[in-house]
């Protein structure tokens, strides 16, 4: 972890992370496990998910994994219910899953558009809807939604993705008002270009150099840098933070 901060209130707290098998989600799952939280995570990649759960459990963490495609709302609901039976009523939800698959504007079909919304936006609504009754019963909770700076920059070649990721901010703003009276805080975390395994594999020396030119801080943004922000927002340290967007991009936008 890139942070040494400890949050005692996260110890033994049931936490749900979507898309937790790889990349930023994986770092978030590991960071909560390191705080002693009871971490449940959902991913479409059963192999990676089971391997991560086994690795963390071997290190003494309380962790549970359920495989599901978050585009399938019913399957996602069943996965959440199964994890909640194992870990308890969720107090924290991190809506992290997403995919920035490239697409040409001219090639986008209605079916492709709908699929990108399902991958990058729709599950946030329905996973939250499934978890909120537990949070209400607990007397409060935290929801954290992953956006992206790509929509702020108007990045081309991913119009369905940028549209969905900008909507994550509108969703966050309204959800904070919807759920604030229940003691549930809702915030967005917006990464710049984060060096996950998948992003590193797609990086060219030219793209890496251009990113460094644009960043105020020189150096790579790592998944742990996002996990550090997520942990803080999930903790009682952020008890009066809601409806906001926290950007971790080394100073680009």
Which residues fall within 8 angstroms of residue 166, CB to CB, at 6 or more apart?
147, 151
**What's the closest the beta carbon of residue 140 comes to ligand NAD, in angstroms?**
25
* Nearest to 115, CA basis, from 66, 70, 79, 48: 70
* 71 binds ligand NAD, rule: CB under 6 A: yes
* 124 binds ligand NAD, rule: CB under 6 A: no
**What's the closest the beta carbon of residue 130 comes to ligand NAD, in angstroms?**
14
Stretch that binds ligand NAD, among 21-29, 81-89, 177-185, 208-216 (CB under 6 A): 21-29
Query: At how many degrees (to 10) do helices 23-34 and 223-234 cross?
Result: 50
Active site residue 161: yes
**What's the closest the beta carbon of residue 197 comes to ligand NAD, in angstroms?**
7
DSSP 8-state secondary structure symbol assigned to residue 238: G
* 246 binds ligand NAD, rule: CB under 6 A: no
**What's the closest the beta carbon of residue 176 comes to ligand NAD, in angstroms?**
19
Binding-site size, ligand NAD (CB under 6 A): 26
* 43 binds ligand NAD, rule: CB under 6 A: yes
Encoded tokens for 117: 């919304």
Q: Smaller CB distance to ligand NAD: residue 148 or 235?
A: 148
What are the backbone angles phi and psi of residue 120, rounded to the nearest 5°? -110, -10
Q: Which of residues 177-196 bind ligand NAD (CB under 6 A)?
A: 191, 193-194, 196
* Residue count (the chain): 253
Contact 195/27 with Cβ under 8 angstroms? Answer: no
Place of tokens 């805080």: 185
Q: Which of residues 83-112 bind ligand NAD (CB under 6 A)?
A: 96-100
Q: Where are the alpha helices (DSSP H) in 45-158?
A: 46-58, 73-87, 110-117, 123-138
Q: What is the dihedral of CA 248, 162, 31, 29, to 10 degrees?
A: 180
- Closest residue to bound ligand NAD by CB: 23
- The residues annotated with a catalytic role in the active site are 161
Binding site for ligand NAD (CB under 6 A): 19, 21-25, 43-45, 69-71, 96-100, 119, 146, 148, 191, 193-194, 196, 198-199
């Amino acid at each position: 972890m890139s942070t040494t901060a400890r949050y005692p209130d996260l110890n033994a707290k049931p936490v749900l992370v979507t898309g937790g098998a790889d990349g930023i989600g994986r770092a978030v799952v590991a960071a909560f496990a390191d705080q002693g939280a009871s971490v449940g995570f959902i991913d479409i990649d059963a192999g990676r998910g089971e391997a991560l759960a086994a690795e963390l459990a071997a290190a003494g963490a309380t962790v549970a994994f359920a495989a599901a495609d978050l585009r399938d709302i019913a399957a996602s609901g069943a996965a959440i219910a199964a994890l909640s039976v194992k870990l308890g009523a969720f107090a924290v939800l991190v809506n992290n899953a997403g995919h920035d698959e490239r697409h040409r504007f001219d090639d986008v079909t209605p079916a492709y558009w709908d699929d990108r919304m399902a991958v990058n936006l729709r599950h946030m609504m329905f996973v939250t809807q499934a978890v909120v009754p537990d949070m209400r019963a607990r007397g409060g909770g935290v929801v954290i939604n992953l956006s992206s700076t790509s929509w702020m920059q108007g990045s081309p070649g991913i119009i369905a993705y940028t549209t969905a990721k900008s909507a994550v901010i509108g969703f966050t703003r309204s959800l904070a008002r919807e759920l604030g009276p229940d003691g549930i805080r809702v915030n967005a975390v917006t990464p710049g270009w984060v060096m996950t395994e998948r992003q590193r594999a797609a990086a060219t020396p030219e793209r890496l150099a251009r990113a460094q030119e644009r960043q105020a801080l020189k150096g790579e943004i790592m998944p742990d840098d996002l996990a550090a922000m997520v942990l803080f927002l999930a903790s009682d340290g952020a008890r009066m933070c809601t409806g906001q967007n926290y950007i971790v991009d080394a100073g680009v936008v």
